[in-house]
Amino acid sequence: MANPFDFNKIATGDTFVGRKDEVKKLSSDFMLLTNTAIIAPQGWGKSSLVLKAAEVASRRDADMRFCHISLSNVRNEERFYELLAKGVLMAVSRSQEDVVANVKKYFISIRPRISFGGASGLDFSVDMDWEDIRRHQDELLDLPYIVSGDMNVKMVVCIDDFQNVSLFDDPEAFMDRLKSERKGCGRVAFCISSTFCPSSDRFIRSSRMFSRYGEVMNIGKADGQEFVTLLRDRFADSGKYLDDEYAHLMVSLSEGNLFYLWQLAHLSWLGTGVVCSEEVVLQAWDTIADQMSLVFETMTSSLTTQQICYLHAVLAGETVISTAEVLHRHHITSATSASRSKTALLEKGLACSVDGRVALADPMYAYWLKNRYFIEK
């Protein structure tokens, strides 16, 4: 039987659990064409929430169209415009013939190169000359408005990993262009989701920027009990038994990070003959740490010695990292150095402030540091 936990896919359909209030609010915002920004740490289910709300809104309003863009690997503005063009075409085309016709109809000064991945279906890529893009940015930003107006539909442009806009040559100018009044009479809204730690200066600055742009939705951790039920039922449906205690253990270890939870469930299911045990779950968690080691080693190597010392203090459970005793115990040179390290780690998204205390944002990184990196030092 196939493993019921596919952690490489965004949760959709039956795999999407909880967040009923958020889905109701966001789907309503979509139908009302309210600009929205969703901000939460990585792995908390932002992408899944957007897709679920889009699904609900589309069922309720047949005129809804969604343009989905991921900036996860995007580092420049030019690539954004290529993805925007593809997203708009995907939103309003049902066949390859539609794509070709829409390119001819809506692209005036710039002609994208369309490459289809197969004989049928909507698997295609969009390439444009970047010099042309720079000359015709406004035309490309007008595209959702012109297309939706011509087709008399509502369009929501959903941009995932929006924090990568900060890597563009001029992020502020890009945001100004995105927010400026566009040509066309189309009904368009934007939904942008960003990975920021709620306590970081970047989060605060971004929240202010997004609040001027539209509503800001800060989502919390998903309801753990709903996932306990889902995990148990998925094991049962595949002929295996998972006790609530060990389902709770999976939820506790992953600390609200749904990517790690699904990966942990995937490996625990593989390691279970008939009845899952605590040993199987803990071994699966340890396996993920091994798989992530190279990534974490690279992350850690980019930190200063003082920042690493600060992480050591956090993992040791220190609540006030400024007293002479604590600084000496963790080889931090001064209270000023501790403050700078804290700020840097928050900015990098490696640490968060939780109930007034600093904690690591990534539960697996915390586990790896404690059980691999610092043990070897």
Confirm if 256 and 19 have CB atoms less than 8 A apart: no
Domain 19-218 has CATH 3.40.50.300: yes
Q: Where are the domains of the chain?
A: 19-218, 224-373
Nearest to 5 by CA among 254, 357, 192, 317: 254
Q: Do you know the residue count of the chain?
A: 377
Tens place of pLDDT per residue across the chain (377 aa): 788 888 777 766 666 777 888 999 999 999 999 999 888 777 788 888 999 999 999 999 999 999 999 998 899 999 999 999 999 999 999 999 999 999 999 998 898 999 988 766 788 899 999 999 999 998 999 999 999 999 999 999 999 988 888 888 888 888 888 877 776 667 999 998 887 654 445 555 555 555 566 788 878 777 778 889 989 999 999 999 999 999 999 999 998 888 899 999 999 999 999 999 999 999 999 999 999 999 999 999 999 999 999 999 999 999 899 999 999 999 999 999 999 999 899 888 888 877 678 889 899 999 999 999 998 65
For residue 38, give the 3-state DSSP assignment. strand
Radius of gyration of the chain (CA): 23
Task: Report pLDDT for 284.
Answer: 97
Confirm if 108 and 139 have CB atoms less than 8 A apart: yes
Cα-based angle 220, 25, 34 (whole degrees, multiple of 5): 110
What amino acid occupies position 248? H
Cα dihedral across residues 328, 332, 334, 338: positive or negative: negative
Task: Report pLDDT for 199.
Answer: 47
